[in-house]
Structure 1
Amino acid sequence: MKNFKSKVVIILLFIAVGVLDILKNGNGFLQLFLAALSSIVVFYIPLLEFKLKKIPYIVLLFTNIAVFAVTYASYRVLLINMLFLSYLIWYKITPRLLHYKSFLPITFLISFISVYTASFLNFSVPLFLFVFYPIYVSGFITHLHNMVKTKKVWGFVIFNALLSGFALVVIIYKILEKSILGNILFLNFEKLGTVTAVYLPFIALLFAWFAVSVNLLLYLPVQKFVKSKASFELTAYTKPVYNFIMFLSVVSLSTFICELSIRQNLLSTLHDILEPNLLFNILLLASIYLFLISLIGKGISNIIIALLTIFLAIANYIKFTYFEEPFYPWDIYLIKNLIGISKNYLNIPILISVLISLAVIIFMVIRFRKAVGRYLKPRISLIFIPFAAILFLLNVNVLTHSSLSTQIGIQKSWYIGRSEILANGMLAQNYFYLDDLDKYLHPKPKDYSQDKILAVDKKYEMPESQAVSTGTSKTVEKPNVVVIMSESYWDLTKLSGIKFSKDIAENVHKYQKGELAPPAIGGGTANTEFEALTGMSMYFMSPGIITYNAYLRTETPSIATVFKNNGYSTTAIHPNSGWFYNRDKVYPYFGFDKFIDVTGFNMTTETKGPHISDDALVNKILNVLDSSEEPSFIFAVSMENHDPFNDKYSDGEFDVSIESDQLDESQKEIVKGYAQGIYDADQSLGKLIDALGKSDKPTLLYFFGDHAPRLGTLDDYYKIYDKLAVENKSETEQKLGELKYYTTPLVTWSNYTETRSFSKIISPSHISYEVLKDAGVKYPNYFNILTQLEAEYPVMHLKGTDLVNPDDELIQDYQLIQYDLLFGKKYLKDIKATN
C-alpha cells in the first residue's frame, strides 16, 4: 500500500469522516460507523510519511489547537480537527517511545485509565487522543516493518479479529438501552455518570483491540513482502496480545467464578456478569491484579488470584448452601468447623476426585519443576504501578461515595447478607466488610464507664418485696434444672398437605408453652445457645458472627455461672465433637463444671442414623441427675436430628411414614427422614418427662428447637414452607414477616410447680431469665432487664430490625450490659447477686 493511490484513499477517508461528523445527527450507530472509519484512517495515517519542518509543524499544531479551543468553547469538538491534532502529537512522540518493550500494552492501559478517569470529571474531556492512540501505534509498528504472510500470521490476525469482535458485540448489545453508544467517538461525552464510567473503558479497550485486528486483516492481502533485515516479527504483537487476553481472562473468570458461587445458577451469572455492578467488580479486581503483577510478576500473581478465587468460591458456596448467608472475613474462625460439617456431606466419589486432583498437581509440579520455577520467578514491573494505583483509587472513590456507587446498584447497607452481596458483587461487598471491620469488632460505646454500668445495674435491681420467686419458696430443696436444645426441632405438623402415620409431636403439643424466634435458620446452633445461656442477644452482633468462635475467649457470665454460684453442679452435654464451635473452651468460660461430648457415648450402641440418638441423650441426662449429690443444672444439645435428612436412616430404623401429593419424591425422602428425627426427639422428651415425674427430686425442664430445618436446598425449603405452611396467628399479630421461617416450639414442664405459658413469640434470650426465676436462685440484677424487654420487644432479631427502636433507653441499657460482659471490663461480673 505504500504508493500514491493508497495515500489518496487515506486522505479521502480523512475528509469523509470529518464531513460525516459535521453532518451527523447524533445517532449512536452513526457514531460507531464514524469510529470504525476513523480507526482505518488512524491505522494507515503513518503511511503518509509527512516530512514536516519545524516551522510548518508548529503552525499546523497551533492552528489545530486554536480550532479545538473555539469549537470546545461552543461544546462541539470536530472529528477532523481531533484527527489532525492527534496525528501531529502522535507524529512527534511515537518514534521516541517505540524502543520501550512495554510501550504497546501501555498505550492500551493509557486508553483504559484515561477514559475511566475522565468519566468522573464534572466537565467533558475529548479522549480521542488517548483512545485511538493504541491503533496508531499498532499501525506505526506494522508499517515500519515488512510482514511475512505465513499461515501463523493469518491465523493470529483472524483469531484476534473474531475474538475482539465477539467481545465488542456482546458489550455493545449490553449497553444499547443505556444510551452510552453515543460516546464511542470519545469527542463529547454525553450523560456522564458511574454507569458510563464503568462501561466506556471496556468499550475503548475492546474497540481498539478490534480496530487493530481488523485493520491488520485488511492490510495482509495487499502487503508486498520485501526481503529485508527489518522484516516483521510476529512476537511484536503476539506477546502483548497474549498478556492482554490473559489479563482480561484472569480478572473476568475469577469474578465470574466468585459470583457463580453465590448465585449458584450458571444462566443467572452469565446474564449478570456484564451488569454495571459486576463489571465494576471486574475493575476492582483488575486494579489489585495489576498491583500484584507490578510487584511480583504474573506467575505468583496468578497463583494468588487463583487461590483467593477458590477459597472465596468454596467458602461462599458452603455458607449459602447451608446457612443462607455469604462468607464474612470473621468466618476465618470457623475454618476448623468446616471440616466437621463436611464429613456429613462428603462421599467416596468426591474424596477420590480430590485425591486424584491433588496427585496430578503434585506430579505436574515435580515433573515440570524447572518450568514451574521459571513461571513463578518474581519479575518487577514498576512502570505499571501508577496505572494500578490510579485504577484502585478511582474504584475506592466509587465505593466511598454513595452518590456514585448507587448509580450502578452498589450500596453499603447496615444489614449484610444474601441480598447485599448479590447486589454489590463479592469483591465490592468484601471491601465494605473490611472497611467496616472496626464495627464488627464492637468499638466501645461513648458512654461506657464503670459508673454508668453500676447505675444501669442499680436501675434494674428488683425491689425486695418482689424478689421472692416461685422456686425455693415452695420447696425446701433446690430443684434440678434441665434445659434441652433440640437439633433442628421445628413443628413439621404445621405444614398442610402431609399425612403422618403417627403423631410425631405428641408430647411437644401436650406440654408446649410458647414459641421462640431463634437468631438462625438451618444452622448456627451456637448462636441460639448463646442467647439462651447468657440472656444476651445476637441483635447487637454483626451478621454472620458465631459468638463462640469470634468473641468468647475469657470467662463470661451465663446462667451456668449463676447456678454454680448457687451451689449447683453444672453439666453441658452435646454428643458431637467437643471442639466444634469451640464448645470445649467456651463451656468452662460459661461456668460449666463438666462437658460430656461425643466421647462420652458409645458410637456402636447409642446411635440412630449417623449420630448419637436422642434416646441415648435422655439416658445420659438421667444418669447425671442420679449420680449427682448436689442439685444439678444440665444444658443438653441433641444431635440425632442434624441434617442432611435424606438417606439418613436405614429401612429398619423408620417408625414414621408420610404421604403427600404436594411433594416430589426427593422432597418426600427429605421430609420422611426429618419426620423420623422429630418423632424420636418427641418420644425421648416423653420418656424424660415420665422418668422425672416419678422422681421425688423437684425438677424444672425446658425444651426448644435451636432453629428451623434445612429441608433440601434453601430454595426448596422456602417453596415448601410458602406452599404448605398454615398461617400462625402469633406471627401475624407480632408482624414478624420473614421471621415466620424461624419460629420453633418451646416446652416448659415441672414435677412440682406450674410453669408459665408465653402469649407472644419470644427470643431465646428470655429463656435464661425464666429459668433463673423459676429455680428461685439468686442472680445478678442485669437479668431483670429481660422482663421489660419481653414486654416491649419480645423478639429482637437482625432480620426484624423494624421491631426494635435503637434509640430507646431500654435498648441502649441492654447494649451496654452486653458490651460490658462480652467486650468491656466485666464490671457486672464482679457485682454480687442480690435477686
Structure 2
Amino acid sequence: MKFLKLNKTKFKPTKNSIKELILLIYISFIIFIVTESMSAIGTTSYGYIQKSSIYLGISVIIALLGMIIFLFKKDKKNYYIGGFIVFFFMIPLIKYTWDKFFVFLDIPQENIWCLVLDYLIILLMLSPAIFLKKKVFYTVLISAILMILSLCNYFVSIFRGIPLAYSDIYCIGDALSLTKNFLGDNSIIFISIGLVILFVFLVILFIKDKKDIRITSNLNIIFVVALAIGTYSYYLNLINNKTLIYYSANMVKTYRYNGYVYSTLESGLRFIRFKPNNYNKDSIMAIRKQVDSSTRSSKEMAVASTKSTNISDNSSNKPNIIFVQLEGFMDPRTINGVMYNTDPIPNFRKLQKNGISGKMKSPSIGGGTARTEFEVMTGIDLEFLTDGEVPHYTILGHETLNSVASTLKKQGYSTHAIHNNQGNFYNRNKAYSSLSYDTYTSVEYMDNVERTETNWAKDTVLTKYIKECLESSEGSDLVFTISVEGHSPYPTDSDKYDFPIKVVNSKLKESDQNQIYYYINKIHESDEFIGDVVDLVDSLDEDTIVVFYGDHTPALDLLNRDEGNVDRTTTPYAIYSNFDLDTDFKGGDISAYQMSTIMLSLAGVDLGPMENVHKALSSKKDYKKDLELIQYDILFGEDYYLNEDEKTKASNLKMGTKNIKIESVSLQDNQICIKGKNFTRKSVAFINGKEKNTLYVDKNTLRVYCDKDEMDDINDIVVKQIGLHDIPLSQTNTIKLNINKD
C-alpha cells in the first residue's frame, strides 16, 4: 500500500541538518553557562572563586563555538581533522572550567540534575529555528533576550539581594528610575548605545539573513518532538523524586539549585491564581463560624470592660501603637567566626533582655522589604502567592484590603506611615491608600536627611517624623515606620572608611570582612535610632507600645553562600511599652503575618478579620489550610468570608503630616522668590504648568531663575513634591500672577 510507504530520503541526515543540530546544542550550552554564572555572580560580590576563572571558561567555550563555525564554513576534511586535534588538546582546560563552574554554583550533588533540566529548556527554546527559514536571526534573537534577562537579573540581585522574577514586570517603572542612580549616567549611556546597536544589528540580520531550507531533514523534526517529550518527562521525574526544590522565602537558593531559566519560567507559572482544593462557600462559612465562636467570648469581655471603665470606642485613652521595620536588621553576633570590638546593637539587646522578644519568620531573604511590611500590615501569608511577588502592585494597586490601619481607624485612631525613601517606590503612595492610612511621610517630605556612603537615607531622621505623627492628632495614633539605612549592597572595599565598630579576630576573607564591617556600622546607627525612639516613647504622656523588627536578613556574600551558621529565614523582634502590659506573652517564634495580632492584642484593642483568624486558628491542626482558603477568598475568590461592615474603602491619603503651601511670591530682578511653609529639597516650582529649575533656600523659601522674557507673562505658580520617575506626589495651593509690560 503506497500510503504506508515512507520516503526514506526525507529522513536521511544531511550535512546541513547535522550542522544545524550541533550548533543548536552548543549555542544552548553557552547560554546555559552564561545565564547560570551571571545568576550566581549577581548574588555575591566576587563569587565563590575568582571571577577570572569563570570569565576564562566562558571565553573558552565561545572560542570553541567560533572554531566550530569556522570548520563548518570551510567544510574540508583537513580542517575537521585540525579542529579535532585542537579540541583534543583543550580537553584538560575544558574539564578544569567545568569543575570550576560547579564549584562556583555551589549546589548539592543531587541538584546537579536540575541544571540538566535548565539546559534542556534552553535547547527547547532555540529548537524552533529548525522549522524556520531565517534560522540565524531567530537563534540570535532568542539568545539575546536570554542574555539581556540574565544581565538584568545580575543587577537586580546585587541591588536588592534576590533574583529577577516574573512579578517584577509590575515594578519595571521603579527599576528604570533606579538604574540611573545605581549604575550612573555613563553606564546608562553605554547600555543605551549597546541596546541600540543590538536592535540595529537584529534588523540588519533579519534583512540579510538568507532564507535557508525550512526543513533540512525530517530527522530534525523527530529530534525536536523527542526533545519536547523528553524534557517534560524529565521534569515530571524531578518533581516526583522531589529533586526540584521550592523555598518561598529564599529565592536565591531556589534559583541556584533549580537553575536560572527554569526558576524564572516557574515564577510566571506560579503567578496563575489556582483555586485551592475544597474552596467553596460552605467550607469558607464553616471556618467563619469557627472563628466567630472562638472570638465571641473575648469580644464580650472587651465590651464589658469598656462599659465598666466608661471608655468609648473612640477614646483617646487607647495606647499609641508604633511599628518600626528595620532594613536588613539582624543580630550580627549570630554570625560564626566573627567578633567585634563592641556590641553593634546595644539598645536592641537591652530590649531583648528586659522585654518581650523573639524571632520572626520573614517572607523573603536578603531583600523584599515590601513583602514583609505587607504581611505585618495585613496578616496575609505570602507563602500562598508567587515568588518575589510585591502585592503593593499586584493587589493593592486595584483593590482595598483590611490592615492594622483600617482596623484601628474604625476605633478612632489616626493612622500614619513613614519611610525614609521615595514615596512612590513600590507603589506605596497608592498602596497605603488601599490600606486606609491617613498620612504617608516619605523622604520627599523630610528635611535635613543625612545619607550613607551608598546614598541611602540614614534612620536618625525618622524619630522627628514619628514625633510629628504622634503630635498631629489629639487622639491615639498608629505609626508604621519603615527604615532604609541598612540596605544592600554592602561594599567589599569598606576598609577605606573609619567606622567605630570594628571586626576583630576573624579568619574570613577580606571581602567578607569588609562587607560585615560596613554592615554592622550601618545597623549600629539604626540601633541608635532605636534608642531615640525608646526615649521618645518614655517622654510621652500617652500610653504607647512599640515593636522593632528586621524585615529580612542582609544580602551579605557570606550569608548568600549559606555560611556563618545563620538562620536566614528569621529576624529578631523586640516589643517595648511605657505602661504595664497585662499579658502572659513572653515572645518566642512567630511569623510576620502574626505580628499585627500580637501587637493589637497587647494594646488591648479590637482585632481585625485576619487577626481574629490567627488568634482563633493558629493552634489548630488545619491552620495553614484554612488560612490558604480564607486568603484566596478575600484576595481572588468570591469574598464569602468578610461581612459587609468589615470591607474597607480607600482613604484620602495625605502625603506628609504638615501642609506645604505658598504664602507669597515676589519678583527680584530675574528671580522669583516663593515664600511659604514646609518646603523640602524635593519641592519644585511649576510656572504656567511648566517645571522650573528650583533652588531650595530653606523650608520657607524657594527661588526660581527666569529669563527676562519669561518674567513678562507669569500666571499660575504652584509647588509640587517630586518623587520617583519625576512624578508629583502632592502640590500646594496655586498663586495667580499677571505681570505685563507697560
TM-score category (smaller protein) = 0.5 to 0.7
Identify the structure with the greater helix proportion.
1
Once the two structures are superposed, what CA deviation does each residue of 1:95-147 show, in whole Å capped at 9, x if it has no partner?
xx99x9x964247779999xxxxxxxxxxxxxxxxxxxxxxxxxxxxxxxxxx
Work out whether 1:752 is the aligned partner of 2:579: yes
Equivalent residue of 2:557, what SS?
Answer: coil
CA distance in 2, matches of 1:404, 1:826: 35
Once the two structures are superposed, what CA deviation does each residue of 1:324-376 show, in whole Å capped at 9, x if it has no partner?
765433333343344466566535775565366457668x75xx98x556325
Matched residue type, 2:357: G
Whether the aligned pair in 2 keeps the contact of 1:277 and 1:410 (CA below 8 Å) is no
Work out whether 1:536 is the aligned partner of 2:380: yes
Equivalent residue of 2:388, what SS?
Answer: coil
- Decide whether aligned partners of structure 1 residues 617 and 112 sit closer, same or farther in structure 2, where only a CA change above 3 A counts: closer
Question: What is the Cα deviation at residue 170 of structure 1?
Answer: 8.7
Equivalent residue of 2:215, what SS?
Answer: helix
Match of 2:16 in 1: 105
Work out whether 1:520 is the aligned partner of 2:364: yes
Q: Which of 489, 494, 497 is matched with 2:329 structurally?
A: 489
CA distance in 2, matches of 1:714, 1:323: 14
Matched residue type, 1:291: P
- Decide whether aligned partners of structure 1 residues 767 and 170 sit closer, same or farther in structure 2, where only a CA change above 3 A counts: same
Match of 1:215 in 2: none
Match of 1:510 in 2: 350
CA distance in 2, matches of 1:469, 1:446: 36
Once the two structures are superposed, what CA deviation does each residue of 1:692-745 show, in whole Å capped at 9, x if it has no partner?
2121122121111111112236445x33x23xx6xxxxxxxxxxxxxx223222
Report the aligned-residue RMSD.
Answer: 4.7
CA distance in 2, matches of 1:517, 1:810: 16
Q: Which of 592, 595, 599 is matched with 1:764 structurally?
A: 592
Q: Which of 415, 419, 423 is matched with 1:574 structurally?
A: 419
Whether the aligned pair in 1 keeps the contact of 2:340 and 2:502 (CA below 8 Å) is yes
Once the two structures are superposed, what CA deviation does each residue of 1:527-574 show, in whole Å capped at 9, x if it has no partner?
211211111212323333333344433111111111122222212111
Match of 1:671 in 2: 516
Whether the aligned pair in 1 keeps the contact of 2:459 and 2:485 (CA below 8 Å) is yes
CA distance in 2, matches of 1:280, 1:510: 50
Q: Which of 172, 177, 184 is matched with 1:335 structurally?
A: 172
Match of 1:398 in 2: 230
Q: Which of 476, 485, 488 is matched with 1:631 structurally?
A: 476
**1:630-649 to 2 correspondences below 5 Å:** 630-646=475-491
Match of 1:136 in 2: none
Whether the aligned pair in 1 keeps the contact of 2:118 and 2:260 (CA below 8 Å) is yes
The structure that has the greater radius of gyration is 1
**1:254-269 to 2 correspondences below 5 Å:** none
Whether the aligned pair in 1 keeps the contact of 2:490 and 2:518 (CA below 8 Å) is yes
Q: Which of 704, 707, 719 is matched with 2:552 structurally?
A: 707
Higher alpha-carbon deviation: 387-396 or 702-711:
387-396
Match of 2:459 in 1: 614
**1:249-648 to 2 correspondences below 5 Å:** 284-292=121-129, 294-295=131-132, 297-318=134-155, 326-339=163-176, 342=179, 345-346=182-183, 350-351=187-188, 353-354=190-191, 357=194, 372=205, 374-375=207-208, 379=211, 381-383=213-215, 390-402=222-234, 405-406=237-238, 413=245, 425-427=259-261, 437=269, 439-461=270-292, 462-465=295-298, 467-468=300-301, 477-495=317-335, 498-512=338-352, 513-515=356-358, 516-552=360-396, 553-602=398-447, 605-609=449-453, 610-646=455-491
Q: Which of 80, 98, 101 is matched with 1:160 structurally?
A: 80
Work out whether 1:787 is the aligned partner of 2:615: yes
Structure 1's unaligned 5+ residue stretches are: 1-88, 114-150, 176-255, 726-739, 793-807
- Decide whether aligned partners of structure 1 residues 468 and 668 sit closer, same or farther in structure 2, where only a CA change above 3 A counts: farther
CA distance in 2, matches of 1:784, 1:506: 35
- Decide whether aligned partners of structure 1 residues 381 and 669 sit closer, same or farther in structure 2, where only a CA change above 3 A counts: same
Whether the aligned pair in 1 keeps the contact of 2:550 and 2:573 (CA below 8 Å) is yes
Matched residue type, 2:16: P
- Decide whether aligned partners of structure 1 residues 341 and 657 sit closer, same or farther in structure 2, where only a CA change above 3 A counts: farther
Question: What is the Cα deviation at residue 774 of structure 1?
Answer: 2.7
Matched residue type, 2:411: N
Question: What is the Cα deviation at residue 390 of structure 1?
Answer: 3.6
Whether the aligned pair in 1 keeps the contact of 2:366 and 2:552 (CA below 8 Å) is yes
Matched residue type, 1:746: Y
Whether the aligned pair in 1 keeps the contact of 2:357 and 2:587 (CA below 8 Å) is yes
Whether the aligned pair in 2 keeps the contact of 1:409 and 1:424 (CA below 8 Å) is no
CA distance in 2, matches of 1:278, 1:544: 21
CA distance in 1, matches of 2:598, 2:532: 24
- Decide whether aligned partners of structure 1 residues 831 and 169 sit closer, same or farther in structure 2, where only a CA change above 3 A counts: farther
CA distance in 2, matches of 1:692, 1:409: 54
Question: What is the Cα deviation at residue 599 of structure 1?
Answer: 0.9
CA distance in 2, matches of 1:606, 1:153: 62
Whether the aligned pair in 2 keeps the contact of 1:557 and 1:829 (CA below 8 Å) is no
CA distance in 1, matches of 2:21, 2:570: 57
Whether the aligned pair in 1 keeps the contact of 2:384 and 2:628 (CA below 8 Å) is yes
Question: What is the Cα deviation at residue 154 of structure 1?
Answer: 8.6
Matched residue type, 2:625: Q
Equivalent residue of 1:527, what SS?
Answer: helix
Whether the aligned pair in 2 keeps the contact of 1:287 and 1:389 (CA below 8 Å) is no
CA distance in 2, matches of 1:823, 1:294: 41
Question: What is the Cα deviation at residue 620 of structure 1?
Answer: 0.8
CA distance in 2, matches of 1:480, 1:278: 52
Whether the aligned pair in 2 keeps the contact of 1:780 and 1:832 (CA below 8 Å) is no
Equivalent residue of 2:478, what SS?
Answer: strand
Question: What is the Cα deviation at residue 322 of structure 1?
Answer: 6.1
Equivalent residue of 2:549, what SS?
Answer: strand
Work out whether 1:820 is the aligned partner of 2:633: yes
CA distance in 2, matches of 1:358, 1:281: 26
CA distance in 1, matches of 2:246, 2:575: 36
Question: What is the Cα deviation at residue 578 of structure 1?
Answer: 2.7
Once the two structures are superposed, what CA deviation does each residue of 1:371-418 show, in whole Å capped at 9, x if it has no partner?
5563257x4754359666543432232233359855999965565755
- Decide whether aligned partners of structure 1 residues 172 and 621 sit closer, same or farther in structure 2, where only a CA change above 3 A counts: closer
Whether the aligned pair in 1 keeps the contact of 2:321 and 2:544 (CA below 8 Å) is yes
Give the structure, 1 or 2, with the largest relative contact order (CA under 8 Å, sep 6 or more): 2
Q: Which of 766, 773, 776 is matched with 2:601 structurally?
A: 773
Question: What is the Cα deviation at residue 666 of structure 1?
Answer: 2.9
Structure 2's unaligned 5+ residue stretches are: 25-70, 648-742
Whether the aligned pair in 1 keeps the contact of 2:344 and 2:523 (CA below 8 Å) is yes
Higher alpha-carbon deviation: 424-433 or 698-707:
424-433
Whether the aligned pair in 2 keeps the contact of 1:340 and 1:580 (CA below 8 Å) is no
Matched residue type, 1:398: G
Once the two structures are superposed, what CA deviation does each residue of 1:215-246 show, in whole Å capped at 9, x if it has no partner?
xxxxxxxxxxxxxxxxxxxxxxxxxxxxxxxx
CA distance in 1, matches of 2:230, 2:623: 38
Question: What is the Cα deviation at residue 770 of structure 1?
Answer: 1.4
- Decide whether aligned partners of structure 1 residues 290 and 449 sit closer, same or farther in structure 2, where only a CA change above 3 A counts: closer
- Decide whether aligned partners of structure 1 residues 648 and 421 sit closer, same or farther in structure 2, where only a CA change above 3 A counts: closer
Whether the aligned pair in 1 keeps the contact of 2:159 and 2:488 (CA below 8 Å) is no
Question: What is the Cα deviation at residue 264 of structure 1?
Answer: 7.4
CA distance in 1, matches of 2:523, 2:631: 34
CA distance in 2, matches of 1:587, 1:481: 17
Aligned length: 576
Whether the aligned pair in 1 keeps the contact of 2:245 and 2:254 (CA below 8 Å) is yes
Whether the aligned pair in 2 keeps the contact of 1:707 and 1:744 (CA below 8 Å) is yes
Whether the aligned pair in 2 keeps the contact of 1:344 and 1:644 (CA below 8 Å) is no
Q: % of aligned pairs identical?
A: 25
